[in-house]
Chains A and B, each alone.
Chain A
Amino acid sequence: AQTVTQSQPEMSVQEAETVTLSCTYDTSESDYYLFWYKQPPSRQMILVIRQEAYKQQNATENRFSVNFQKAAKSFSLKISDSQLGDAAMYFCAYRSAYIDTGNQFYFGTGTSLTVIP
């Protein structure tokens, strides 16, 4: 089974600064998708950014970007110009591209991000 590891239970960043959240995963599959979700105290799961494994180019969504290293099985999230509203739990997730493998998400254990005014 696939595993997703987030080695930073907590991170903090000064407002307007940049922070990077780490994620590594283990899989024997060659085609898959990776996601970062934000979960504020309301518990709503909000998609931040996603990456297709077969794409070399790192995904970018406004202030959010990823550093996807397929060989190293690493998928870090960079938040630039951090804002108070970015404070939340962040979950890294893996999903196989093969429908017949079950297609569930595998989540990391999350990183709690604090933004300091």
Chain B
Amino acid sequence: GEEVAQTPKHLVRGEGQKAKLYCAPIKGHSYVFWYQQVLKNEFKFLISFQNENVFDETGMPKERFSAKCLPNSPCSLEIQATKLEDSAVYFCASSQYRSRYNEQFFGPGTRLTVL
């Protein structure tokens, strides 16, 4: 598609439950990025993929968070045993390999609320 698609738009989970977020990058884009925007507006980089391979996971919490980008499937970000502090908007972005400006195109985000 021509836009980055993220589902669901909103997700509510009780503390300790699992949350799974999905992202379909723009067709032809090789790189996918996940960011977490907490309520104070700060963006935190989580992980990036080059096709189905993890490219940079320096921002991923070592526990509870995992992500995948499999061929012919949306990318996913999964949080096991959610905590209150996981409440945030999670953005997915995609970019072409070596595109001009290295621009990233952002999806609309998934708002995760942990109660």
- When C-beta atoms are compared, the residue in chain A nearest to B111 turns out to be A43
Task: List 19 interface pairs A-B (beta carbons < 8 Å), by A numbering.
Answer: A35-B101, A42-B108, A44-B109, A45-B91, A45-B109, A47-B103, A52-B101, A91-B41, A91-B43, A102-B48, A102-B56, A103-B55, A103-B56, A104-B33, A104-B56, A105-B35, A105-B104, A107-B43, A109-B42
A110 vs B89: C-alpha distance in the bound complex, in angstroms? 15
**Interface set of B (CB-CB < 8 Å, partner A):** 31, 33, 35, 37, 40-43, 45, 48, 55-56, 58-59, 89, 91, 93, 95, 97-98, 101-104, 106, 108-109, 111
A49 vs B7: C-alpha distance in the bound complex, in angstroms? 27
Q: Which chain B residues lie closer than 8 Å to A19 at the CB level?
A: none
A31 vs B45: C-alpha distance in the bound complex, in angstroms? 21
A45-B91, A89-B41 are known contacts. Are A102 and B58 too (CB-CB below 8 A)? yes
Q: Which chain B residues lie closer than 8 Å to A107 at the CB level?
A: 42-43
Q: Which chain B residues lie closer than 8 Å to A37 at the CB level?
A: 106
Q: How far is the CB of B40 from chain A (nearest CB, A)?
A: 8
**Interface set of A (CB-CB < 8 Å, partner B):** 33, 35, 37, 42-45, 47, 50, 52, 89, 91, 95-97, 99, 102-107, 109-110
A34 vs B89: C-alpha distance in the bound complex, in angstroms? 23
A53 vs B108: C-alpha distance in the bound complex, in angstroms? 28
* Selected contact of B48 from candidates A91, A103, A109, A110, CB within 8 Å: A103
- When C-beta atoms are compared, the residue in chain A nearest to B33 turns out to be A104
Q: Which chain A residues lie closer than 8 Å to B31 at the CB level?
A: 103
A95 vs B35: C-alpha distance in the bound complex, in angstroms? 14
- When C-beta atoms are compared, the residue in chain B nearest to A51 turns out to be B101
Q: How far is the CB of B108 from chain A (nearest CB, A)?
A: 5
B103→A43 contact, CB < 8 A: no
B104→A43 contact, CB < 8 A: no
Given contacts A99-B97, A105-B43, list 9 more A-B pairs with CB under 8 A.
A33-B103, A35-B101, A37-B106, A52-B101, A95-B104, A96-B102, A97-B102, A104-B33, A105-B104
Q: Which chain B residues lie closer than 8 Å to A33 at the CB level?
A: 101-103
A112 vs B31: C-alpha distance in the bound complex, in angstroms? 30
B108→A105 contact, CB < 8 A: no
